[in-house]
Amino acid sequence: MSMLKDEISVLKSVMISLDADTAVLVTYQYHTETNEFSKVDRSKSRYRYMARVFKTADLIKKIQEMREDANRMSKAKWPDDPWPWYICTEYPENWRVADWLAVKLKKIKTWEDGQKILAGFQTGTKKRIAGFNEKAKYEIEGYLDKDGNQVSLADKASLLARVGQNLIKVNKKVV
């Protein structure tokens, strides 16, 4: 599937429990466009880490809202996103993003396991042994909240103080 000019795709994500009713969803996202020759226009490529701290009850309500008949075919927008694009997990429709969010919530990680995943830990599969992988790491430091304050994903208290906020780290490097 090719990316449309109004979409930003999620490359990887993890949802981490902060306490009994609060969580953070950390995603790595990218947007790219093609030029008139159908080649990727690198000058329009954008990569970022986006995290959102939320109450799980609010997320469940949002998932239900996105699945309602009146909303299900609309394109999904990340809440309070300063960038203009629709979020795309497989396709940008609300019901698909709602399904993705529901799976993330079902597979929520504990604080300790989430920190390991952010540090690059990968579980074992038939073709991969379990362990830490440099390429699987997430950026942990240098996220900015809505007021421009720097936040670390390793600081649980700081995350709990930012419920309902996005934390963004723009990544300059091309993957």
Q: Where residue 175 falls among pLDDT bands split at 50, 70, 90?
A: very low
Q: Check whether 147 has a pLDDT greater than 60.
A: yes
Q: What is the pLDDT of residue 1?
A: 38
Q: What is the pLDDT of residue 108?
A: 97
> What's the pLDDT tens digit per position in 10-52?
899 999 999 999 999 999 998 877 677 777 777 777 889 999 9
Q: What is the pLDDT of residue 86?
A: 81
Mean pLDDT, all residues of the chain: 89
- HEC sequence for the chain: CCCCCCEEEEEEEEEEEEECCEEEEEEEEEECCECCCCCECHHHCEEEEEEEEEEHHHHHHHHHHHHCCCCCCCECCCCCCCCCCEEECCCCEHHHHHHHHHHHHHCCECHHHHHHHHCCEECCCCCCCCEECHHHCCCCCCEECCCCCEECCCCHHHHHCCCCCEEEEEECCCC
> What's the pLDDT tens digit per position in 51-67?
999 999 999 999 999 99
Q: Check whether 106 has a pLDDT greater than 90.
A: yes
Q: Where residue 85 falls among pLDDT bands split at 50, 70, 90?
A: confident
Q: Where residue 172 falls among pLDDT bands split at 50, 70, 90?
A: low
Domain boundaries, the chain: 7-171
Q: What is the pLDDT of residue 3?
A: 63
Average pLDDT of the residues in 69-95: 86
